[in-house]
Amino acid sequence: MEAPTLWQDIARIREQAPLVHSITNYVVMNSTANALLALGASPVMAHAEAEMADMVGLTHTVGGALVINIGTLSPAWVAGMGQAMRAAAQQSVPIIFDPVGAGATPYRTRTCAELLSQTPPTIIRGNASEIMALSDATTTTKGVDSNQSTDAAREAATQLARAYSCVVSVSGATDLITDGEATRTVPRGHALMPRVTGLGCTASVLTGAFAAVNDDPLAAAEHAMWVMALCGEIAGEQAQGPGSLQMHFIDALHNLDEDALKVRL
Amino acid sequence: MEAPTLWQDIARIREQAPLVHSITNYVVMNSTANALLALGASPVMAHAEAEMADMVGLTHTVGGALVINIGTLSPAWVAGMGQAMRAAAQQSVPIIFDPVGAGATPYRTRTCAELLSQTPPTIIRGNASEIMALSDATTTTKGVDSNQSTDAAREAATQLARAYSCVVSVSGATDLITDGEATRTVPRGHALMPRVTGLGCTASVLTGAFAAVNDDPLAAAEHAMWVMALCGEIAGEQAQGPGSLQMHFIDALHNLDEDALKVRL
Amino acid sequence: MEAPTLWQDIARIREQAPLVHSITNYVVMNSTANALLALGASPVMAHAEAEMADMVGLTHTVGGALVINIGTLSPAWVAGMGQAMRAAAQQSVPIIFDPVGAGATPYRTRTCAELLSQTPPTIIRGNASEIMALSDATTTTKGVDSNQSTDAAREAATQLARAYSCVVSVSGATDLITDGEATRTVPRGHALMPRVTGLGCTASVLTGAFAAVNDDPLAAAEHAMWVMALCGEIAGEQAQGPGSLQMHFIDALHNLDEDALKVRL
């Protein structure tokens, strides 16, 4: 990754402050909103059907993206998600879909399949277990953490990208991003990152911020994973455990500049 | 602001530990509960209609306030909000209303208008965009962050305060508090504060704590904004970014004493 | 408490990474998930009826526990809780029940009574006010914080443990754990801990992690409270207020090793 290329997108996010509309899980609402603000984007959380079309319309007007995350799904929320995805597709608002816990229960896997088949997203972002569950119902997910290596998910990611004509971004020790043809990897990050809840969900909302300012979803997804990895490294070097890593990670997102990118890359 | 006047209310909060019953958004439940505990108040989050009358009754009995925040509204929650507001008004429990994202969608603006017209609150606390949306539906809010200066909201705040016979507290680089006649400003704080999610919502719950111990809602709202501004300054001086600011802000609320107030004021 | 005994359970949690399925309140979802990850367990949050049987089945298959916490209860969530508890009992998955705010409103006290009488849990973990409310409806809880000493709850805890043939774990300045016959106490911790929201709820999820690796619920509950108390002490010694205590507490859970246990115990 070239530092100027990555920096260009970060600078755009800071200038344009894209609106990232998330329908996400209860666990990560605070931490993902803080990550977006720290990077320079503008978060909004809204899920009620009564305002889905209007909120997506606002996102279209001011510029932004829609992030769907099924982490704590229930029927009323899934209805709002479907409505928002349809509205976003109609208005060409980028859609990032995070299938948290897909494969853990049939309800999760089935809900993902229904939402994705109704409205193919711009980018699917998950861990290896989730990506494999979406492309092949034979794998079993243990909870919401990954128990599959990113390598093992390479084939599944390619299949999934082709099936929905989208980009698939798989987080892991080495992140993998593919549009079904080209594949990029991000072999960076910090070992403590999986010990902080919701950093995968954070990757999804940051992917939304990048997709809002970069029309190439493969590049947007890759840039987001680079920012995750580099800020994870910066935070990990200062942290004394996962509690302080989370704090330093937010600070690192805020303080990231072109010089730091050059040094790290 | 005189330090002894402000300190008197803080000391009362620490002595009486008023119960601040919040029906608020998912994003800020943890951070606002921690802010209340750090200042010395006692938070409770409850939204089910089945317990609204009883929870408000308990707040009345032990002393406290009701804080309504529509940040992640949905019909079931709005029903609980309306019920709680009516019960609070009947029992003279102070009501603080935070119209998060008013103006962003018609559903938000309409819901606020309905709740406010049914039960005028003691204090409306929002940012400039939200306050202008409530008093004039012609402005457009971008997400839940403000895109209007506090000055531009002065007239709207005054109109709104008169319309509902309440106090309006507008956060911004300079906070503005008015009862429709008298106006107070708090020209302090720290530039990083808007980069932390939910500090506006935190201002609302702290306003609830002050309203619980001070019968003058104009003074209560002003005192809350002073505490926000001063703790924001203290935290900002120690912070390396918005992640550490959030942590130091909570510590500052806990450690605030009369000497610190005198030095800062 | 002997350090090797306590360490044995912690080592098991780190090796087995038990799945702790929580149906808990919105306020603490992030902080309790982070506490579980920091200790070495694997958190999952899920509440929809459509996946309750499957998620409990997964917990049974991979090893884990179910934690029910009524902090922000509503009818739809209570339905999911009841369903999950029945499934867990059928499959011998340990159930930890946290009656947040029991006694504050009749709805809370009644809901607890219904859930507990339908499916007696393995361990009830609450503060003194809540435990007294469950065993005797004559006490009044102020919000969700305790206003009863642990000593005053001793009799109530014993009665409750006998009524449901379960272990009762009462947090306070001195924690008390009883199975209705034997009683253990944990006279440690840090004075700032009650100023951080959700540390009681954190005690409940950690109790779930210990119950997943230790068949003796009295020992599991006691071990969890020791870990809470010791990590609270470690964090308290480094903290400058409740904000930094929360961060250091998570770090301490992650860094806890046998040597630290020996020094502290």
B45/C30 touch (CB, cutoff 8 Å), yes or no: no
Instruction: Report the interhelical angle of A199-213 vs A217-238 (nearest 10°).
Output: 140
Question: Taking the alpha carbons of A191, A193, A194, A196 in that order, is the dihedral positive or negative?
Answer: positive
A105/C62 touch (CB, cutoff 8 Å), yes or no: no
Q: How far apart are the first and last CA of chain C?
A: 7
User: How wide is the angle at C-alpha B166 spanned by C-alphas B164 and B171, nearest 5°?
Assistant: 110
* Half-sphere exposure of residue A34: CA atoms within 13 angstroms, side-chain side: 28
Q: ipTM of the assembly?
A: 0.94
Which of C32, C37, C231 to probe by mutation at the A interface, max A CB count within 10 Å? Answer: C37
- Nearest residue on chain B to C199, judged by CA atoms? B34
Q: Is A167 helix (H, G, I), strand (E, B) or coil?
A: strand
Give B17 to chain A, closest Cα distance, Å. 26
Q: pLDDT tens-digit profile of C189-225? A: 999 999 999 999 999 999 999 999 999 999 999 999 9
A37/B73 touch (CB, cutoff 8 Å), yes or no: no
CB crowding B138-157: b at 16 or more within 10 Å, else e = ebebbbbbbbbebebbbebb
- Nearest residue on chain A to C235, judged by CA atoms? A243
Look at the block and give the residue holding tokens 């990113």.
A150
Q: How far is residue C188's CA from residue C228's CA, in Å, rounded to a whole number?
A: 9
Q: What is the pLDDT along chain B (265 residues), one digit of tens a residue?
A: 999 999 999 999 999 999 999 999 999 999 999 999 999 999 999 999 999 999 999 999 999 999 999 999 999 999 999 999 999 999 999 999 999 999 999 999 999 999 999 999 999 999 999 999 998 744 455 556 665 666 678 999 999 999 999 999 999 999 999 999 999 999 999 999 999 999 999 999 999 999 999 999 999 999 999 999 999 999 999 999 999 999 999 999 999 999 999 999 9
Residues in A closer than 8 angstroms to C30, CB to CB, are 27-28, 30-31, 197-198
Look up the CATH architecture of domain C3-264. Answer: 3-Layer(aba) Sandwich (3.40)
Strand C175-178 versus strand C167-171 pairing type: antiparallel
Residues of C with CB under 8 A from a CB of B: 25-28, 30-31, 71-75, 101, 104-108, 140, 142-145, 194-198, 239-244, 246-247
B62/C31 touch (CB, cutoff 8 Å), yes or no: no
Question: Taking the alpha carbons of A129, A133, A138, A141 in that order, is the dihedral positive or negative?
Answer: positive
- Nearest residue on chain C to B256, judged by CA atoms? C241
Q: Is B215 exposed, middle or buried (0-12, 13-18, 19+ CB in 10 A)?
A: exposed
Give B96 to chain C, closest Cα distance, Å. 18
**pLDDT of res. A136:** 77
Look at the block and give the residue holding tokens 């009656």.
C99
- Nearest residue on chain B to C76, judged by CA atoms? B48
Say if CB C46 and CB C19 are below 8 A apart: no
Look at the block and give the residue holding tokens 């001070």.
B214
Looking at the partner chain, which of C73, C143, C239 has a beta carbon nearest the beta carbon of B48?
A: C73
Q: How far is residue A78's CA from residue C50's CA, in Å, rounded to a whole number?
A: 12
Q: How far is residue B52's CA from residue B49's CA, in Å, rounded to a whole number?
A: 5
HEC states along A54-79? HHHHHHHHHCEEEEEECCCCCHHHHH
- Nearest residue on chain A to C43, judged by CA atoms? A143
Domain ranges of chain B: 3-264
Amino acid letter for position B122: T
Q: Subunits that touch chain A (at least 3 Cβ pairs < 8 angstroms)?
A: B, C
C27/B33 touch (CB, cutoff 8 Å), yes or no: yes
B167-171 sheet: strands from edge to edge: B42-45, B19-23, B64-69, B95-98, B123-127, B167-171, B175-178, B183-186
Residues in A closer than 8 angstroms to C255, CB to CB, are 240-241
Q: How far is residue C251's CA from residue C235's CA, in Å, rounded to a whole number?
A: 8
Which of C24, C25, C26 to probe by mutation at the B interface, max B CB count within 10 Å? Answer: C26
Looking at the partner chain, which of B38, B44, B47 has a beta carbon nearest the beta carbon of C74?
A: B47
